[in-house]
Chains A and B, each alone.
Chain A
Amino acid sequence: MTDHDREEVATSAPEGDPWAVLRRATRARVALGRAGDGLPTARELEFRAAHAAARDAVHTALDADRVRAALTAAGVGLDVLEVHSAAPDRTTYLQRPDLGRRLAPGTELPAGEHDLALVVADGLSPRAVHEHAAGTVAAVLERLPGWSVAPVVLAHQGRVALGDPVGQALGAAIVVVLVGERPGLSSADSLGLYLTHGPRPGRADSERNCISNVRPPHGLGYAQAADTLVALLQASRQLGASGVVLKDEGTALGS
């Protein structure tokens, strides 16, 4: 049973159920009932289903062909390149965040001069990339006429900071990493967007700006996320920086 289903159950509670008003105010799993001192079977299995979906989202392999096809279908005409991080597999990736931030030895990318590079990385939810990366990329590109954008880079076993060596190699002034976020019990497909000005290895997290929870229809929509990101991109280009300093400026942008 999904969260959405739970809400429907809650709102259809009989009149006079003192829990009805409380359930409407929270997605927390309140008033599940009991079987002895434990949970009733249905509630227990509902929880396991949500956990299983989140676990599977973490361990799904990134399907590059699927993302390429989705980009094409969304009208993205840019070339698509593929890279691997220095983490050879999922087990290593989960235990060695440092490897997920570096490119596999011998990786070559075409050097150029671009306003922007877009890196699509599996992160902790390849499922989020499968479902939301193409729609987000298309919405962002629509809003950036006149910007020179490097080929889209699909990254396997990638973390946010993998955008630093990729953006640097491509010669991009700004890199945006679209990455699958750590799945929650009710949000296994959430995509995050991280903007870094002047990408190079060693950038601190405080030098990035983040838009989280891109996940229509439950979370942020593509257009809404792209509007916010483009406002940040323009401010970042103007300021020649990103991160905390841009966030402070950003309050004037209303973003």
Chain B
Amino acid sequence: MTIRRTTLGGHTHEFASLSDLLAKATPARSGDVLAGIAAESQAQRVAAQLVLADVPLATFLTEQVVGYDEDDVTRLVLDTHDPLAFAPVAALTVGEFRDWLLARAAERDETAISSLARGLTPEMVAAVSKLMRTADLVAVARRTRVVTGFRSTLGLPGRMASRLQPNHPTDDPVGVTASILDGLLHGSGDAVIGINPATDSPAQTVALLELVDAVIGRYEIPTQSCVLAHVTTTLRALEAGAPVDLVFASIAGTQAGNRGFGITLDQLAEARAGALALGRGTVGRQVTYFETGQGSALSADAHRGVDGRAVDQQTLECRAYAVARHFDPLLVNTVVGFIGPEYLYDGKQVVRAGLEDHFCGKLLGLPMGVDVCYTNHTDVDGDDTDALLLLLGAAGCAFVIAVPGSDDVMLHYQSLSFTDVLTARSVLDLRPAPEFEAWLARMDLLDDTGRVRDLAPDSVPARALLAAARP
């Protein structure tokens, strides 16, 4: 274990391990305080950032925060590391890497940034993000290109898609359909129509899959469905011959964290192979969808690494992205404000974490989206979510989550509304996924300027869609 130290303002700061250094260098958040690893003063935080800036990127290939022998995520990261992709930045320190990224972003050299992905490890990306400010995170993510496809193409420049999330407390088919139609009429749903089922039963999952498949089929909507059941439930649905477009899992950045979610890497591979075999995609073959969020490992007491030392929640979040990356996902999103104030306390922490997650995910090669959201015991409101949404739009976020009127009546939290998506697209000149945009035009839902029309409920295009509620 290397002890690293620096002197700042006449005071010497020592960092006992790489995980200690990463934790102390992290911008303030309640979860690291809860874990007992946060910086104890502002000066100590900056001292850690100074030391971290001088750590060579290559150090992260030889010095681990979570041990290789104990953890299959670490093994996955190191065993699949691509030295050729790493070569352009292999000689840089973390601080020099920040400068390199900002320079390439300013030159709009998307290829240079985007082709690093397989050469970067989660810890490298977490480290550089800790040295970056909000605008740095936006500027570099904007020039990082990750494009994926199934029935719609996601991640293209100038586009922002949305997941339409039509949750219902009892999975009532008409209730779910109502929310789907409301979202479609607002131009949402191009990333996925994705339902969190109220109960995780195979029968319920199959019923919901068939419901969404029927809507998509009836109107030939170029999008995909997903029922966010446990992966073992999705495996059962696949066996039953259900119309599965995407396989979903919540994932964490440690093997213990994934055990807490009841998943293994082998199960994910099996489910992915099952969905791929169905061949249901048209423009692409990416068939997995993952959700993550800072604090999930800590909440499962699965946040420890080498010598039992706690690892900061943002570094662990990046390790979850390495899991996602391995399964060639169509969609990945952080559920940034869902977990509660003991991990991210207020709007400032949630906005920062959302931008970090988006930046780090993209840099690692993920089609990154964000569930811009909050619970009622967190100090966050619509002003904070507006700010994060607009920053993410500027940063080239692939997709966001949207629910009717911001109110998820099943999970009891607030996400973005369909109108929030319209506002962000309008303010930042962003458009839906191209296939979905063409469909909106075919359905007469767009005006001459390409804007989603504000339709009266009894207008012809609205009535045409609403007919789906009476099959």
State how many angstroms separate the Cβ of A32 from the closest Cβ of chain B. Answer: 5
- Residues of chain B within 8 A (CB-CB) of A32 are 404-405, 419
- Residues of chain B within 8 A (CB-CB) of A95 are 30, 33-34, 341-342, 345
Check: B469 CB closer than 8 A to any chain A CB: yes
State how many angstroms separate the Cβ of B404 from the closest Cβ of chain A. Answer: 4
Query: Given A29-B406, A95-B342, A95-B345, are A51 and B376 also a contact pair (CB < 8 Å)?
Result: yes
Instruction: From A20-28, A102-110, A168-176, give the one contacting chain B.
Output: A20-28
B419 near A39: Cβ-Cβ < 8 Å:
yes
Q: How would residues 19 to 48 of chain A score, 1 for a CB under 8 Å from any chain B CB and 0 otherwise?
A: 101110111111110101111000100011
When C-beta atoms are compared, the residue in chain A nearest to B420 turns out to be: A38
State how many angstroms separate the Cβ of B402 from the closest Cβ of chain A. Answer: 12
- Residues of chain A within 8 A (CB-CB) of B70 are none
In the bound complex, what is the Cα–Cα distance between A19 and B30 (angstroms)? 43
In the bound complex, what is the Cα–Cα distance between A47 and B406 (angstroms)? 9
Check: A186 CB closer than 8 A to any chain B CB: yes
- Residues of chain B within 8 A (CB-CB) of A54 are 376
- Residues of chain B within 8 A (CB-CB) of A34 are 419, 422, 454
In the bound complex, what is the Cα–Cα distance between A186 and B169 (angstroms)? 13
Instruction: From B73-81, B106-114, B175-183, give the one contacting chain A.
Output: B175-183
Residue among A39, A96, A188 with the highest chain B CB neighbour number at 10 A: A39
State how many angstroms separate the Cβ of A195 from the closest Cβ of chain B. Answer: 22
- Residues of chain B within 8 A (CB-CB) of A39 are 405, 417, 419
- Residues of chain B within 8 A (CB-CB) of A57 are 376
State how many angstroms separate the Cβ of A11 from the closest Cβ of chain B. Answer: 14
Instruction: From B44-52, B155-163, B457-465, give the one contacting chain A.
Output: B457-465
When C-beta atoms are compared, the residue in chain B nearest to A43 turns out to be: B405
Q: How would residues 334 to 365 of chain B score, 1 for a CB under 8 Å from any chain A CB and 0 otherwise?
A: 00000001100100000000000000000000
- Residues of chain B within 8 A (CB-CB) of A38 are 419, 422-423
In the bound complex, what is the Cα–Cα distance between A51 and B377 (angstroms)? 10
Check: A183 CB closer than 8 A to any chain B CB: yes
In the bound complex, what is the Cα–Cα distance between A95 and B377 (angstroms)? 10
State how many angstroms separate the Cβ of A128 from the closest Cβ of chain B. Answer: 13
In the bound complex, what is the Cα–Cα distance between A57 and B470 (angstroms)? 40
Q: How would residues 87 to 111 of chain A score, 1 for a CB under 8 Å from any chain B CB and 0 otherwise?
A: 0000000111110000000000000
In the bound complex, what is the Cα–Cα distance between A144 and B407 (angstroms)? 40
In the bound complex, what is the Cα–Cα distance between A30 and B382 (angstroms)? 18
Q: CB < 8 Å: which of A18, A26, A31, A97 contacts B175?
A: A26
Query: Given A18-B458, A22-B177, are A182 and B377 also a contact pair (CB < 8 Å)?
Result: yes
Check: B252 CB closer than 8 A to any chain A CB: no
A25 near B172: Cβ-Cβ < 8 Å:
yes
- Residues of chain A within 8 A (CB-CB) of B407 are 28-29, 47, 50, 185-186
B409 near A17: Cβ-Cβ < 8 Å:
no
Query: Given A26-B409, A58-B376, are A18 and B457 also a contact pair (CB < 8 Å)?
Result: yes
Check: A187 CB closer than 8 A to any chain B CB: yes
Q: CB < 8 Å: which of B403, B425, B462 contacts A28?
A: B403
- Residues of chain A within 8 A (CB-CB) of B423 are 37-38
State how many angstroms separate the Cβ of A185 from the closest Cβ of chain B. Answer: 5
- Residues of chain B within 8 A (CB-CB) of A30 are 178-179, 181-182, 404-405
B34 near A98: Cβ-Cβ < 8 Å:
yes
Check: A16 CB closer than 8 A to any chain B CB: yes
* Total residues of chain A contacting the partner, CB 8 A: 42
In the bound complex, what is the Cα–Cα distance between A47 and B422 (angstroms)? 18
B414 near A185: Cβ-Cβ < 8 Å:
yes
- Residues of chain A within 8 A (CB-CB) of B426 are 37
* Total residues of chain B contacting the partner, CB 8 A: 47
Q: CB < 8 Å: which of B168, B345, B375, B417 contacts A26?
A: B168
Residue among B181, B376, B405, B466 with the highest chain A CB neighbour number at 10 A: B376
In the bound complex, what is the Cα–Cα distance between A96 and B174 (angstroms)? 41
- Residues of chain A within 8 A (CB-CB) of B419 are 32, 34, 37-39
In the bound complex, what is the Cα–Cα distance between A47 and B417 (angstroms)? 11
Q: How would residues 389 to 433 of chain B score, 1 for a CB under 8 Å from any chain A CB and 0 otherwise?
A: 000000000000001111101001010010100110110000000
In the bound complex, what is the Cα–Cα distance between A17 and B466 (angstroms)? 10
Check: B270 CB closer than 8 A to any chain A CB: no
Query: Given A25-B174, A185-B407, are A19 and B179 also a contact pair (CB < 8 Å)?
Result: no
State how many angstroms separate the Cβ of A40 from the closest Cβ of chain B. Answer: 10
A26 near B466: Cβ-Cβ < 8 Å:
no
B412 near A27: Cβ-Cβ < 8 Å:
no
B466 near A182: Cβ-Cβ < 8 Å:
no
Check: B381 CB closer than 8 A to any chain A CB: yes
State how many angstroms separate the Cβ of B173 from the closest Cβ of chain A. Answer: 8
In the bound complex, what is the Cα–Cα distance between A117 and B174 (angstroms)? 44
- Residues of chain B within 8 A (CB-CB) of A187 are 412
The A-contacting residues of B in range 160-212, CB under 8 angstroms, are 166-169, 172, 174-179, 181-182
Query: Given A26-B178, A51-B381, are A182 and B172 also a contact pair (CB < 8 Å)?
Result: no
Check: A55 CB closer than 8 A to any chain B CB: yes
Q: CB < 8 Å: which of A21, A37, A50, A55 contacts B422?
A: A37
Q: CB < 8 Å: which of A22, A36, A48, A188 contacts B174?
A: A22
Beyond the given pairs A25-B174, A95-B34, 9 more chain A to chain B contacts, judged by CB atoms under 8 angstroms and listed by A's residue number, are: A21-B174, A22-B177, A22-B182, A39-B419, A58-B376, A58-B377, A94-B345, A97-B342, A184-B376
Residues of A within 8 A of B (CB): 16-19, 21-23, 25-32, 34, 36-39, 43, 47-48, 50-51, 54-55, 57-58, 94-98, 124, 182-188
- The 10 A-B residue pairs with the shortest CB-CB distance, nearest first, are A29-B405, A26-B175, A22-B178, A25-B174, A184-B412, A54-B376, A37-B422, A25-B175, A30-B182, A18-B466
